[in-house]
A and B are shown apart, each in its own frame.
Chain A
Amino acid sequence: GAVVSQHPSWVICKSGTSVKIECRSLDFQATTMFWYRQFPKQSLMLMATSNEGSKATYEQGVEKDKFLINHASLTLSTLTVTSAHPEDSSFYICSARRQPEGPLHFGNGTRLTVT
C-alpha cells in the first residue's frame, strides 16, 4: 500500500512553454503533498507544501508564479512549470503522507529537460 504515482516520468519541452506534472496517491488520501527538486548529485530541495483545498506554501526563493501548484483533491496534486527555461531542467519529485506522523512516500520523479 501507500503508492504515489507521478506522471510523466520524463518530458522534454521547448523554452517558453509550460509543463504540468501530476502526483497521485493511489491507495490513500493525502491532505498534504510535498514537491521537491533535485539537481544532479545534490540532495532533494523542498519547493513547496501542497495542501488540499488551499494555497500551497512555497519555500524561500521559489517563484510562486513560475511553479504553480494545485491540490484539487485528496489524491491529486499538480505542479506546472510555466514559461520554462533551460535552468528549470531538473528532477522533480512529489511525496505524500498517509498520516501526519507516518512515513513519507515518494513518486518516481519527473525528469524535465528544457531545450
Chain B
Amino acid sequence: KQEVTQIPAALSVPEGENLVLNCSFTDSAIYNLQWFRQDPGKGLTSLLLIQSSQREQTSGRLNASLDKSSGRSTLYIAASQPGDSATYLCAVSTGNTPLVFGKGTRLSVIA
C-alpha cells in the first residue's frame, strides 16, 4: 500500500529565504507526482505535476524534483514571500487512480 510522508510538518521562515519541502513515498511504481497548495478553508491549487519519466519541473519561483528510484521529491521555493504561506501537499498516482496524499507541510513566511 502506497504511503506518502512529508517532512517537516510545519516550517516557519523569514521572508526572502529559500526553502525546501520534502516528500517521500514507499512504492516507487508511480505514474506521476503532484504538488498542491492549500490555503486555510480552501480547496487545492495544483502547483506542479511531474511525470514518472521526468526529473524536475519549474514554475516561477517553484522547482520540484523527482527521484523515483529512491521514492523522493522536493519542492524548492526561492525567495519566499508572505503570500507563500499555506499548506503544501504532495500526492502520487499509480495510473488512472486516485491520488495518495501526504499530510502536508504548513509553511509560514514571516515578513
Contact in complex: B49, A100 (CB < 8 Å)? no
Number of A interface residues in the complex (CB < 8 A): 23
Instruction: Tell me the minimal C-beta distance from B51 to chain A in angstroms.
Output: 7
Q: Does A16 contact B (CB under 8 A)?
A: no
Contact in complex: B34, A104 (CB < 8 Å)? yes
Instruction: Give the one of A4, A43, A49, A102 with max B CB within 10 A.
Output: A43
Q: How far, in angstroms, from A39 to B36 measured CA to CA in the complex?
A: 17
Of B32, B46, B98, B104, the contact of A43 (CB 8 Å cutoff): B104
Report chain A residues within 8 Å CB of B51. 101
Report chain B residues within 8 Å CB of A106. 36, 43-46
Per the 8 Å Cβ criterion, residues 58-115 of A in contact with B are 91, 93, 95, 100-109, 111
Residue of A at shortest CB range from B44? A106
Q: Does A44 contact B (CB under 8 A)?
A: yes
Q: Does B42 contact A (CB under 8 A)?
A: yes
Report chain B residues within 8 Å CB of A43. 89, 101-104
Q: How far, in angstroms, from A69 to B91 measured CA to CA in the complex?
A: 24
Q: Does A42 contact B (CB under 8 A)?
A: yes
Instruction: Tell me the minimal C-beta distance from B103 to chain A in angstroms.
Output: 4
Instruction: Tell me the minimal C-beta distance from A8 to chain B in angstroms.
Output: 13
Q: How far, in angstroms, from A51 to B51 measured CA to CA in the complex?
A: 24
Contact in complex: A32, B44 (CB < 8 Å)? no
Q: Does A13 contact B (CB under 8 A)?
A: no
Q: How far, in angstroms, from A34 to B89 measured CA to CA in the complex?
A: 17
Q: Does B69 contact A (CB under 8 A)?
A: no
A-B contact pairs, 16 of them (CB 8 A): A6-B43, A42-B103, A43-B89, A43-B103, A44-B44, A44-B89, A46-B98, A91-B41, A93-B43, A100-B95, A101-B96, A102-B49, A103-B49, A106-B36, A107-B43, A108-B43
